[in-house]
Structure formats: structure tokens, C-alpha cells
């Protein structure tokens, strides 16, 4: 328990959110009704099931198995991009980056392969993949629980994003030189098929709770009990920081929306879907897309515009999403010294190219679905 508390306190994003939440108390007092407990329960369930998959080494196993047959740097990059994209759909973009960025960089350093462009592509793939499901990132979970988005509508919104996202990643990997590499050695990683099957079934309960089929608190309790049954130490490593960070966001937004000047300004910016879309993107660039989602959602009911704006808004600046910050941190830990010095500029430039290209397509989707 003490270890879990320490990890929460050391979480930089939580520290910043907590400080801002405390400062916001000078503006007003938070209202309990503004705290979305459904989202908090859903996050607890998701973060716990993610840690269970980590405990079972599922992603490590898939990474080494699926990339064992790569014969060139381009092919290897594509395999890791694909893994990052798909894993982020179900286990969040943060988890995908934390898993696949270090794995790729270890292989790349050992075989003298490109690091900057593949590392950037893996991070962008994690962001894009997380957009594709209601549980791929925290702000999608929040939007689902707050606005009760149907699976049909979500699927329609995702389709253009999926098509342009896959095309962009495919073109991006073509810029990686097809340098021949020896076969990637498969490590002796083994998983327990029975436990993985049971975990997938438990994960389905969490996914159903996001759609309101099952009470989120019940799904979270089931997952926690299952984790304890496997190994109680799993709970120590759960990312509680994101849950408490969201709590801080709810407090901040509750206080802010009681300030008449702020309400008037934001209400003026969000009168139509296009303005909501651009407000979501711009807010994400300066305060990250998670708090931007919570803030914008209090002043608008143009849900499709919010969905596209806050998801695409995760591309761009280094602080546009926590995934970007984690990618930068992982790169600075595992990349070669020379690559570390050059990473920031190309990473940022390519992210902004992705923002403009994918954002342009999403703007058309916002107009079409409005």
C-alpha cells in the first residue's frame, strides 16, 4: 500500500493537477454532482486489468513472437507500429508506448537500426490506436460515460479516423530505410493460456461497463478481486495516479465553470461543432487532451466534435498527450546518446504533420456528422 501511495505522490501529472485543483478552490467550491464517479470506476477497472495483462507478460510475448520474422528495418518498424496500434486499442496508448518503445529501441541499438523515425511512428501509432475504442484512452471512457454514446455512433465516428490513421502510418514507415537485419531472436517467454483466457473474459466485463451494460463499480470490484486472487502485488503497480488526476480535473472544472467570465468565454467559443472541434484541439496542445476533454465537455453537447478534437488533439506538441511525454521519456532512457540529442525536433515536426493531415480529414467528418 505504501508503494502505491508513493507512486501516486511521485506522479508529475498528478502533482500538477493537484496543485491546480488546490488553487482553483480559491475561485469556488467543487460540486459533488460535477464529479463523474462512473468514469473513476471505469478507470479503476481498466488500469487494474491492464496491470493483470502486464503481470502475465502478454504484450512481451506478442512482441517477440510477431517480430521474430522481420528481415529489414522497415519491416521491423511496421511490426512494432502495428503492435503499438492494436495494443493501444485495448490497453491504452500509455501502456503500448511503455511496452513497445523500449523493446524496439533495445533491438535497434543492438543491430544499429534507425531509432528516431521508428520511435516516433510507434508513439503516433499508440495515440491513433487508442482513438479506435471507447476504452483505449481515459478521455474516451469519460465521453462514453458522460454522453452515453452508442456503439453504432462510435463506430461511425471512428471509421474515417481509422482509414486516415492507417494510411498515414503506412506512408510514414516507408521513410524507414529497408536496411537488412538478422532475424530477431525469440526470447523464452511463456504465457499461461488458461489465465490469459480468464483475463480476457474479465476484461470483457470492463469493456461492457464502459457501454453501461454492467455497472462500472461492479466491473471494477470483480477485476480487483481477480487481481488479488492472482497475486495481490498486482494492485501495487496499478496506475492509481490517473484516477486521482481525473478527480483533480473534475474539481478544477467544477470550480472554473462557476466563474462567470470563464463560462461566458468558453460558451462563446463552443456555439457550433467546428468551433468546438478547434477549441478541443487548441486546448489539448497547451493542457493535454485529457483535461481539455473534461473542460470542453462542460460547455458543449457537440459530442462528435469533442471526440475528434480531443483525440486528434493528442497529436502535436509534446504535452498534447501523456503518451507523447512517456514516449519522450522512454526514448531518452533507451535510445543511443546521439539519437537522444536529435529526437525532439523530428518527433514534434512529424506529430504536427500528423495533426494537420489527420485533423483535416476529421474536420470533414465533424462537418458531415453535424
Q: Which tens digits make up the pLDDT trace of 54-113?
A: 888 877 777 676 666 677 888 889 989 998 999 899 878 887 888 888 888 888 887 888
285 in a domain, yes or no? Answer: no
Higher pLDDT, 330 or 172: 172
Q: Is there a contact between 312 and 355 (Cβ–Cβ < 8 Å)?
A: yes
140 in a domain, yes or no? Answer: yes
Q: Is there a contact between 76 and 164 (Cβ–Cβ < 8 Å)?
A: no
Query: What's the total number of domains in the chain?
Result: 1
**What is the spatial distance between Cα 51 and Cα 49, in angstroms, rounded to a whole number?**
5
307 in a domain, yes or no? Answer: no
305 in a domain, yes or no? Answer: no
At 8 the pLDDT is: 67
370 in a domain, yes or no? Answer: no
| Residue where the block lists cell 512494432 | 80
**Given a cut of 90, is residue 359 above it in pLDDT?**
yes
Mean pLDDT throughout 279-305?
87
Strand partners, 180: 72
At 132 the pLDDT is: 94
Tell me the three cell numbers of residue 173.
514507415
60 in a domain, yes or no? Answer: yes
Tell me the three cell numbers of residue 175.
521513410
**Domain of residue 332, residue span:** 2-256+323-337
284 in a domain, yes or no? Answer: no
**Given a cut of 80, is residue 183 above it in pLDDT?**
no
* High-pLDDT (> 70) share of the chain, %: 90
Kindly report, residue by residue over 254-271, the tens digit of the pLDDT: 887 777 777 676 666 667
At 5 the pLDDT is: 66
Angle, in degrees to the nearest 10, between helices 73-91 and 93-111 = 160
Q: Is there a contact between 326 and 84 (Cβ–Cβ < 8 Å)?
A: no
266 in a domain, yes or no? Answer: no
Higher pLDDT, 299 or 345: 345
At 68 the pLDDT is: 66
Which one-letter DSSP state was computed for residue 236? G
Amino acid at each position: 500500500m505504501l508503494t502505491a501511495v508513493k507512486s501516486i505522490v511521485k506522479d508529475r501529472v498528478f502533482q500538477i493537477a493537484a496543485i491546480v485543483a488546490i488553487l482553483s478552490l480559491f475561485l469556488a467550491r467543487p460540486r459533488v454532482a460535477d464529479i463523474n464517479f462512473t468514469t473513476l470506476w471505469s478507470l479503476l477497472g481498466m488500469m487494474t486489468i491492464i496491470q493483470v495483462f502486464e503481470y502475465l507478460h502478454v504484450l512481451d510475448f506478442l512482441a517477440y513472437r510477431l517480430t521474430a520474422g522481420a528481415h529489414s528495418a522497415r519491416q521491423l518498424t511496421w511490426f512494432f507500429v502495428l503492435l503499438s496500434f492494436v495494443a493501444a486499442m485495448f490497453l491504452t496508448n500509455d501502456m503500448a508506448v511503455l511496452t513497445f518503445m523500449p523493446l524496439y529501441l533495445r533491438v535497434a541499438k543492438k543491430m544499429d537500426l534507425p531509432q528516431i523515425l521508428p520511435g516516433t511512428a510507434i508513439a503516433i501509432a499508440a495515440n491513433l490506436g487508442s482513438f479506435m475504442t471507447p476504452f483505449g484512452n481515459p478521455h474516451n471512457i469519460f465521453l462514453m460515460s458522460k454522453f452515453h454514446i452508442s456503439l453504432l455512433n462510435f463506430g461511425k465516428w471512428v471509421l474515417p479516423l481509422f482509414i486516415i490513421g492507417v494510411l498515414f502510418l503506412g506512408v510514414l514507415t516507408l521513410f524507414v530505410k529497408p536496411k537488412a537485419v538478422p532475424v530477431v531472436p525469440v526470447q523464452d517467454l511463456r504465457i499461461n493460456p488458461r489465465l490469459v483466457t480468464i483475463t480476457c473474459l474479465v476484461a470483457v466485463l470492463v469493456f461492457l461497463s464502459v457501454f453501461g451494460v454492467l455497472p462500472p463499480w461492479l466491473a471494477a470490484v470483480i477485476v480487483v478481486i481477480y487481481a488479488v486472487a492472482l497475486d495481490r502485488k498486482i494492485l501495487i503497480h496499478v496506475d492509481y495516479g490517473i484516477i486521482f488526476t481525473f478527480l483533480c480535473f473534475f474539481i478544477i472544472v467544477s470550480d472554473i465553470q462557476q466563474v462567470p467570465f470563464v463560462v461566458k468565454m468558453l460558451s462563446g467559443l463552443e456555439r457550433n461543432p467546428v468551433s468546438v472541434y478547434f477549441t478541443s484541439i487548441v486546448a489539448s496542445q497547451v493542457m493535454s487532451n485529457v483535461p481539455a476533454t473534461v473542460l470542453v465537455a462542460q460547455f458543449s453537447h457537440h459530442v462528435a466534435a469533442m471526440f475528434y478534437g480531443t483525440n486528434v488533439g493528442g497529436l502535436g506538441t509534446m504535452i498534447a498527450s501523456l503518451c507523447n511525454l512517456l514516449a519522450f521519456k522512454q526514448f531518452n532512457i533507451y535510445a543511443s546518446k546521439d539519437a537522444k540529442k536529435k529526437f525532439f525536433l523530428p518527433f514534434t515536426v512529424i506529430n504536427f504533420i500528423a495533426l494537420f493531415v489527420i485533423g483535416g480529414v476529421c474536420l470533414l467528418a465533424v462537418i458531415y456528422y453535424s
